[in-house]
Structure 1
Amino acid sequence: MKNFFAILGGMGTLATEAFVQLLNERTPNHSDQDYLNYLLINHATVPDRTAFILGKSNENPATKLKEDLIQYTPLQPNFFVLTCNTAHHFYDELTSVTSVPILHMPRLAVKAILAKFGRDDRPVRVGVLATEGTIQSKVYEKELLAHQEIDVVIPPMEIQTQVTNLIYRDIKENNFLNEELYFSILEKMIKEHACDVLLLGCTELSLMEEVTKQTLYPVVDAQSELVDETIRLALEARD
């Protein structure tokens, strides 16, 4: 197979399924041959990224991810797609073991925020919704603060606990898409913390956005931006 890309997923599996479904839905097609060529690596047993970053586990997920990159690089995909937001904490380490480009989801999301919500009169206030690991490692905060046009709003502990419960307790552990909790989190960040837009920096939150298809609150879904860039690059390579 030529002109294909590799999706490094499984973190978690439901979120990876949502990514692939969205990828296929958005790909312009009129026949089987119009869909994209890709390899899906659903590595579900990669150790928990947040647990390692927070010091609650000694199992370094980067070890397994680097093994995957080393294993699949010889197949010569055009690029790798890393669907886990928190795994971008290890991005520089991962790029060191492969000559194949790895798309950077946080940078794509920040680019979309500036394009869609940038203001001339004042910085845009961006609320970051993500796992505790992503928040603690500042994966998104670093990318956002690189731009003077952005003010970053990190959720207070009360809301972060709700985000964690939604991601882990509800979705990962019980396969329960808790729409009521999701909408409550969005509302609090917009109304109580004066956010102009919310950055969804976790694939489980992306799953919630795709399922609810809500339009009440302004969001930039990092996974959605990654899907669009993946399609753009794949179609470009096909031409």
Structure 2
Amino acid sequence: MKKFFTIIGGMGTQATESYVHLLNKRTPAHNDQDYLNYILVNHATVPDRTAYITDPENNPSPLPPLEEDIQQQSKLGPEFFALPCNTAHYFYDQLQSVTDVPILHMPRLAVGAIAKKFPHARKVGLIATKGTLKDKVYDKEIADAGYEIVHPTDEIADETMDLIYKGVKEQDYVDPKLYHHILNQMVNELGSDVVILGCTEISVAEERAGNHDYPVIDAQSELVDESIRLAEKMQKNKAS
């Protein structure tokens, strides 16, 4: 197979399934051959990213298996990598250093979408795993773009972890009331002009329990759109 991209997934599997579902759903296809060429690596046994970032002395690092995945897949010649796990972007620079194949930067894509979709936004809220909150990957991107970041309170952060881990990861379940409650607090209590959904399990919640008017930027959705844009571009180049 030529002119394809590789998805390094499995972090978690339901979130990766959501990414692939959106990818295929949004691809303008009328027959089998119109869909995109990609390889999916569902590496479910990669150690938990948040556990390592928050307590590295007592938890295994996800970096070695992710580096191995990138190096193995690079030998096959993908045009780019998609990494549908926000917290894993803590290792972005190390992963990019082991390959010449570009890795899409999901947090950067999410922040870059704010100006287009919410041009008057100034205060950008973030809901994510505690690992992503601690590693501050989004903090830098948001600050560099000229926005003020709104962090969740400890209570909101705990509720978000419950939504992610006790709901989606453990039971493949989304509690719509909890999800909407979190968004309500970020917007109406903390004053966020827009809220970034900085975890792919939260993207699962958005997909299944959206139906709201809160201003959000779904990081996974932005990754899907950029994946399609680049894949369609390389297919056109192949055809010409």
Give the corresponding residue for 1:42.
42
Identity over aligned residues, as a percent?
55
Which secondary structure does the structure 1 equivalent of 2:40 belong to?
strand
Instruction: Please state how far the C-alpha of 1:215 moved relative to its aligned partner.
Output: 3.3
Instruction: Please state how far the C-alpha of 1:213 moved relative to its aligned partner.
Output: 3.1
Counterparts of 1:110 and 1:127, CA distance in 2: 11
Q: Which amino acid aligns with 1:39?
A: I
Task: Verify the 8 A CA contact 2:180 2:212 in the aligned structure 1.
Answer: no
Give the corresponding residue for 1:110.
111
Q: Which amino acid aligns with 1:115?
A: K
Counterparts of 2:173 and 2:96, CA distance in 1: 34
Counterparts of 1:116 and 1:177, CA distance in 2: 26
Instruction: Please state how far the C-alpha of 1:147 moved relative to its aligned partner.
Output: 2.0
Q: Deviations over 1:122-177 (max 9, x none)?
A: x61111000000000001111001122x1100001011100011101111112221
Task: Verify the 8 A CA contact 2:128 2:199 in the aligned structure 1.
Answer: yes
Verify: 1:157 aligned to 2:154, yes or no.
yes
Say which of 158, 165, 181 aligns to 1:168.
165
Counterparts of 2:125 and 2:4, CA distance in 1: 35
Unaligned runs of 5+ residues in structure 2 are none
Counterparts of 1:89 and 1:118, CA distance in 2: 28
Between 225-234 and 204-213, the greater mean CA deviation after superposition: 204-213
Moved over 6 A (4+): none
Q: Deviations over 1:21-72 (max 9, x none)?
A: 0000000011110000000000000000000000153311011100101111
Counterparts of 1:32 and 1:58, CA distance in 2: 43
Give the corresponding residue for 1:144.
142
For these two proteins, the number of residue pairs brought into alignment is: 235
Instruction: Please state how far the C-alpha of 1:212 moved relative to its aligned partner.
Output: 1.9
Which secondary structure does the structure 2 equivalent of 1:128 belong to?
strand
Give the corresponding residue for 1:197.
194
- Give TM-score scaled by structure 1 length: 0.96
Counterparts of 1:215 and 1:170, CA distance in 2: 19
Counterparts of 1:133 and 1:88, CA distance in 2: 10
Verify: 1:134 aligned to 2:132, yes or no.
yes
Give the corresponding residue for 1:51.
51
Give the corresponding residue for 1:232.
229
Task: Verify the 8 A CA contact 1:117 1:124 in the aligned structure 2.
Answer: no
Q: Deviations over 1:194-215 (max 9, x none)?
A: 1111100000000111112323
Q: Which amino acid aligns with 2:112?
A: K
RMSD of Structure 2 on Structure 1 (CA): 1.0
Which secondary structure does the structure 2 equivalent of 1:75 belong to?
coil
Q: Deviations over 1:61-106 (max 9, x none)?
A: 0111001011111100000000100000000000111111100001
Task: Verify the 8 A CA contact 2:27 2:36 in the aligned structure 1.
Answer: yes
Counterparts of 2:106 and 2:133, CA distance in 1: 15
Unaligned runs of 5+ residues in structure 1 are none
Which secondary structure does the structure 2 equivalent of 1:199 belong to?
strand
